[in-house]
Each structure stands twice: as structure tokens, then as C-alpha cells.
Amino acid sequence: MKELLFNNWSLWRIIRFVLSIIFMVNGIIKADYFLLAGGVFLFIHAFLNVCSTCASGNCEVPKK
């Protein structure tokens, strides 16, 4: 789990993380729950990096 959180931070992962924070803040300010849900969704994908894990065709976490 520690490896998932702290390694492989690419430009796209950073962009997803920054956009998720922006979406969540705007969703809270404007009381727009769809925007907030989208921000939470992006945050989970950016934080756990689940997009790149399954994009390569292998949906398993590498064991080292």
C-alpha cells in the first residue's frame, strides 16, 4: 500500500490530484453534489493510482 501511495507520480497523476481538489472545493462552495462526487472519484483514482494499474492489462498490484 505504501508503494502505491508514494511511487510512480507522473504528470497525469498530479493533474488528476490537483483537479480533484479543485472539484471538491468548488462542489463544497457551490453545494453541487455531482461536482463533489466527481472530485472524490478523481481523488481516489489519483491517490491510489488505480487507472494505470488496469490500463496496462494487468489489474493486480505488483508484489515485491
Specify whether the CB–CB gap between 49 and 4 falls below 8 A.
Answer: yes
- Listed by start position, the domains of the chain span 13-54
Helices 33-48 and 11-30 cross at an angle (nearest 10°) of: 160
Report the predicted TM-score, pTM, of the whole model to 2 decimal places: 0.67
> Which residue pairs from 26-32 have beta carbons closer than 8 angstroms and sit at least 24 positions apart in sequence?
none
> What pLDDT is recorded for position 34?
93
> What pLDDT is recorded for position 64?
65
* Residue 1 Cα distances to 40, 48, 63, angstroms: 19, 9, 10
Helix ranges, 1-64 (H): 2-6, 11-30, 33-48, 50-55
> What pLDDT is recorded for position 35?
92
Note down pLDDT in tens along the chain; length 64 residues: 666 666 777 788 888 889 999 999 999 999 999 999 999 998 888 877 766 555 555 566 666 6
> What pLDDT is recorded for position 28?
92
